[in-house]
Structure 1
Amino acid sequence: MRWRAIDEPQPGPKWAGLFREFWPDYHKWWVREGPEARPGYLDSVNALKRHMPELLPLYEELCGLAGGADHAARFLSFYCPPPYLSACSQALWPGPEPVLVRNYDYSPHAFDGVVMRTEWLGRAVLGTSDSLWGLVDGINDAGLAVSLTFGGRRVVGEGFGVPLILRYVLQTCETAEEAGAALSRLPTHMSYNVTVVDRDRKFLTAFMAPDRKAVLKHVSVATNHQEKVEWDSHARFTATVERERFLLQRLTLHVESEEKFIGAFLKPPLYSSAFSEGFGTLYTAVYRPRKLEMELRWPGSVWHMPLMAFDERTLAVQVPVF
């Protein structure tokens, strides 16, 4: 896998270059059910105005950099996108410093491999990019960190793709409490578990769904189901219950160091080799809110990225199969 770390404080030529590079594949995915299956431009913009008005100036600027075409503008709203599945595990290490650790299990053929640092709307944000301006995990300069896992439900409804929801949280929130309030009201098109932790060690997990109200829980572990398993075949294939139990046991039965806890994510049962099925572990992310830093890890490799002293670079990673 080829990774790139990109630093562009305001939207400009670097973002426009990423759009030109990734748009053909994203467009093919977005129209796979036909463009009429996706909301029109006015519906998409009105949804942003209603639910995420703070992002509207940024959205309009990005649409301009993307060329202003109808399909690109509708795609960038990320309102009611095509459904997609991932696996993932995430947990908070219960030490003196808050540390959020997550595995991202997804297809390597549908992944940007981009870490992006921005200062959009006056706030520094660093995270793993998805859909060109969304994030699947990240941290902001207030010391708020966030990550997601798929919620293990088939239901698809009206709402936003979760990467844009994470972007919104990091752009507009400073505490776990503020993030929880945002996650409670934002509509999502599929079910996701979003864990947030702030620099004061306050944390929560939001169980979001398109067909029912979000549930906020003071829990530090999330895999691929919510309060109970609702999709049996997906749960068996991804071993969501077994991974959750494994993490809970490590948090309650073992007193171990931060490094040992992180190391558990780099080998089975948390580390997945199901790359051919689209659920292999592409990376392990480590977020330290008080230190304002992010790490990406693979077995045998560590990539350290401070939010306030960020270096652009590229990295080639050989993803192991156990």
Structure 2
Amino acid sequence: MDSIILLTVLVVIFALAFDFINGFHDTANAIATSVSTRALSPKVAVMMAAVMNFIGAITFTGVAKAITKDIVDPFALENGSVVILAALIAAIIWNLVTWYFGIPSSSSHAIIGSIAGAAIAAAGFSILNYGGFLKILEALLLSPFIAIAMGFIVMSLFKVIFKKAHLYKTNKGIRYLQICTAAIQSFTHGTNDAQKAMGIMTMALIAAGWQTGDDIQTWVRIAAATAMGLGTSIGGYKIIKTVGGKIMKLRPINGAAADLASASIIFGATLIHLPVSTTHVISSSIMGVGAAQRVKAVKWGVARKIVMTWIITMPTSAALAAICYFILNLIF
């Protein structure tokens, strides 16, 4: 009983740490365009994102429930607390490594890959809930392509709407619009990304026998939202530089188009209870916006490196989680 209590407490601590790291790791994606176009100063953008992330995080729970039950069945998972703790440690390691090198990797891919890897290490491939897991994988894989298309469409519409507008006046006006789109972007980030830690903590409570359903408890929602808000307030300026400037040279009209495109996709995924990668969606929206303006405007070499990181994140985090599980299993 003592080891179950210890493991559950450790899971909650590491889940909140994951949300905190997710906050400063992925906040950059939500505010990168507004900072890069000087619509907002980094300090103001980060604080606004922290508040909007918190509000978004406590508003919805559908994605949290999907994380709780769609990857593996927490009620069928033996040694579940060790599995969840191993997954969290692996995801945190991967997030910190990619943050250190300024790579806009996906926290969503990292945690989902880690849960799957640790669960497989514990109980074999049969433990996966293939219906739910494949649905989540489809959302993660398709959302970047949808984001590219949406970014292209929104930017194409903007080009038609502002065709005869004076460039200086248009950019000045759109900077004000970007403040709104950055706030919306941060809100939608909270509605989707903070949910993942809530789902993990709920899995731990079920594994410990302290909860019998998949409802997200109020204290879990507030704790996860607060951790993400605090992490957001730290900011992630290395990733702002990559997302906001290295994919393409952004003007206010490009930033607003990318924000609107990505926020609509992230919020749409939240409404249908599917986790998506805010990193993937925002970066892909910028690529779509750049392609609508001029295909050569997109620095495809940087984009290619980002895509390679997307591809390797899930298998790498799964392998890390399996290793962490075997080590933790020896200890506990």
Question: Would you say same fold, with TM above 0.5?
Answer: no
Structure (1 or 2) with the larger CA radius of gyration: 2
Write 1 or 2 for the structure with the bigger share of strand.
1
Write 1 or 2 for the structure with the bigger share of helix.
2
Task: Output the TM-score relative to the length of structure 1.
Answer: 0.29
